[in-house]
Amino acid sequence: MEIIELTANAQEHAKALLGKEEEPKDGLRVGVIGGGCSGLQYQFVFSNATEADMVHEYENGLKVMVDPKSALYLTGSQLEFHNDLMRSGFEVVNPNASNTCGCGESFS
């Protein structure tokens, strides 16, 4: 089940980073935790899946895991990767966020 869509560019970069992990991991965990300047913040870690996770596997073999609580905040979101003169890194475009901070890492 795809809770958060990864663009082709985000998939490519996440897969490359996953391949550099010292310990094998199932895939990319995308979550939401309390904190940040707007109350909630995104969390990205490489980890193993749990039974409770919603897992989506892309054609390139990248697995993305989202826990049920985070799914409430992330459904319909998109993860993009930018690498240009103005910015470099992952960006979440979240239609559920009513407010975001200037850095784009936290929301409410």
User: Which CATH number is 37's domain given?
Assistant: 2.60.300.12
Residue 102 to residue 31: CA distance in whole angstroms: 20
- pLDDT, tens digit, 9 for 90 and up, residues 68-92: 999 999 999 999 999 888 888 999 9
Instruction: State the Rg of the chain over Cα.
Output: 13
Number of domains in the chain: 1
pLDDT score recorded for residue 87: 84
Residues in the chain, total: 108
Q: Which segment of 52-56, 65-69, 104-108 scores lowest on mean pLDDT?
A: 104-108
Between 108 and 64, whose confidence is greater? 64
Strand partners for 55: 65
* HSE-up of residue 6 (Cα within 13 Å, Cβ side): 28
Spatial separation of the C-alpha atoms in residues 7 and 92, rounded to whole Å? 11
pTM of this structure: 0.86
Domain housing 85: 4-107
Region 18-34 average pLDDT: 95
